[in-house]
Amino acid sequence: MTLEDLGYNEQLESYRLENHLTQFEPGRVISEHKERYVVKTVEGEYLAELLGNLRFTAESRNDFPAVGDWVAIAPYDDDKALIHAIFPRSSVIERKAVGRSGQTQIIATNVDYALIVQAVDRDFNLNRLERYLTICYASKVNPVIVLTKIDLITADELNKIMDNLSQRITPGIPILPVSNVNGMGLKPVAAYVKKGKTICLLGSSGVGKSTLLNQLAGKEEMKTGDISSAVNKGKHTTTHRELILMENGGILIDNPGMREVGIADTTGGLEMTFEAIVELADSCKFKDCTHQHEKGCAVLEALDSGELDEAAYENFLKMQRERTRFESSKAELRRKDKSMGKLYKRIQAEKRNRKF
Ligand SMILES: Nc1nc2c(ncn2[C@@H]2O[C@H](COP(=O)(O)OP(=O)(O)O)[C@@H](O)[C@H]2O)c(=O)[nH]1
Ligand SMILES: [Mg+2]
Ligand SMILES: [Zn+2]
């Protein structure tokens, strides 16, 4: 195995040279467990921790390593290491952190393609699909939609779903229907698995992400089914891998299922997902049109005429509200941090003054 097999490239190498990291070994974070990271290098796998210094200067969770990251490590003992630097990320897939307002949580970094996996049976949900698309676009990661479990429905039912999809989402996004059971449609998915390219699987629990990964790998890399979530939890420390190197090239990142995919700071992600609405908005009478009650609103007119899908419109508004809420919580957090900083400085100054 070479570093390139793991996704290493010239940009990363020049960063290593320019930042005097040559005494360290470059490696990739393949799983995370409570601030311990399994890092894969050409030499092997290490259980690594972030250097204390970097921990103290970290301003948020995002300054900590995440699955997919390239890091510079110094090994000690046989299989332990310290992480001395995190390389700049070429992409970051993130969502709104659950329970920490105004903050984001990284799903994976340095990703080339995201496979948005949905099952065509119970799980199928266009709103959620748009949510994942938004997250991909905001991360500058190319989305590919994979519809699993097509063996559970008829050809007619699948056609209907494909029709709905193509009406609702921006044209040009690949939609690949597959069955992990009979192997139908797997080839076009496998075509995305290429040497040095990183693919992240996104989707709710139970849609068949791990089964798909195993199919693509040709062996059981991941536990599947209900057992993976419940029974296996305790074993994650040593056996659990999230980033898998395929034998014939390519890197896949599996994710434990996500219940919530909250919209955060999606720099343009929403606008790219709802391209049709943004184009219509160009013709609205008022520049600051909210597309909710204004006269001369091109979006509302398109809704009336049926040109614009009502469900897509509702979903757009909902996610826009979420984004606004996220932005204000983030601003609030910044204000708090700032005043905490001021308070800290004042106390330090008072302490100094007292000494004299
Ligand atoms: N019928 C059918 N079942 C599937 C397919 N893909 C996965 N499954 C089943 O769905 C369940 C959940 O799969 P799993 O890969 O663990 O889902 P994950 O949570 O997304 O990783 C398992 O019981 C799989 O056997 C498929 O294409 N067709
Ligand atoms: Mg799974
Ligand atoms: Zn409008």
pLDDT, tens digit (0-9, with 9 covering 90-100), for 292-315:
999 999 999 999 999 999 999 999
* pLDDT at residue 238 in the model: 35
* pLDDT at residue 356 in the model: 54
Look at residue 356 and tell me if it is in a domain: no
Look at residue 180 and tell me if it is in a domain: yes
How many domains does the chain divide into? 3
100 and 232 together in one domain = yes
Ligand nearest to the CA of 214: 1
> Which residues does residue 81 pair with via DSSP β-bridges, in sequence order?
48, 75
50 and 117 together in one domain = no
189 and 316 together in one domain = no
Picking from 26, 58, 86, the residue at the C-terminal end of a domain is: 86
The tokens for 285 are 């009478």
pLDDT in tens, 197-251: 999 999 988 999 999 999 999 888 888 875 444 444 444 333 466 999 998 899 9
* pLDDT at residue 255 in the model: 80
The domain that holds 188 is classified in CATH as 3.40.50.300
Residue corresponding to tokens 């676009």: 137
Question: Is residue 152 within 6 Å of ligand 1 at its C-beta?
Answer: yes
From 224, 227, 231, 233, mutation site for ligand 1 pocket: most ligand atoms within 8 A of C-beta: 224
**Counting atoms of ligand 1 from 1, which one is nearest the CA of 228?**
16
**Counting atoms of ligand 1 from 1, which one is nearest the CA of 117?**
20
Q: What is the DSSP string of 42-71?
A: SS-EEEEEE-HHHHHH--SGGGS--TT-EE
Instruction: Please give the Cα distance from 106 to 52 (Å, whole number).
Output: 21
Residue corresponding to tokens 């609405």: 277
277 and 197 together in one domain = no
* pLDDT at residue 240 in the model: 62
Question: Which residues 6+ apart lie within 8 Å of 303 measured at CB?
Answer: 310, 313
Number of Cα atoms under 13 Å in the Cβ half of residue 7: 30
Picking from 86, 118, 143, the residue at the C-terminal end of a domain is: 86
Q: Where are the alpha helices (H) located in 9-125, listed in sequence order?
A: 10-18, 52-57
Instruction: Please give the Cα distance from 239 to 234 (Å, whole number).
Output: 10
Ligand nearest to the CA of 213: 1
106 and 163 together in one domain = yes
Question: Is residue 90 within 6 Å of ligand 1 at its C-beta?
Answer: no
Helix (H, G, I), strand (E, B) or coil at 106: strand
241 and 98 together in one domain = yes
* pLDDT at residue 133 in the model: 94
79 and 108 together in one domain = no
Residues with CB under 5 A from ligand 2 (ion): 209-210
Nearest CA to ligand 1 atom 6: 208
Nearest CA to ligand 1 atom 11: 225
Look at residue 262 and tell me if it is in a domain: no
145 and 97 together in one domain = yes
Q: Which domain holds residue 246?
A: 92-253
Q: Give the Å distance between the CA of 303 and the centre of ligand 3.
A: 11
286 and 152 together in one domain = no
Picking from 50, 66, 86, the residue at the C-terminal end of a domain is: 86
Look at residue 260 and tell me if it is in a domain: no
* pLDDT at residue 266 in the model: 67
Q: Give the Å distance between the CA of 65 and the centre of ligand 2.
A: 22
64 and 145 together in one domain = no
Q: Give the Å distance between the CA of 154 and the centre of ligand 1.
A: 18
The domain that holds 287 is classified in CATH as 1.10.40.50
For 145, phi then psi, to 5°, come to -95, 125
pLDDT-flagged residues of the chain (< 70):
226-241, 257, 265-266, 354-356
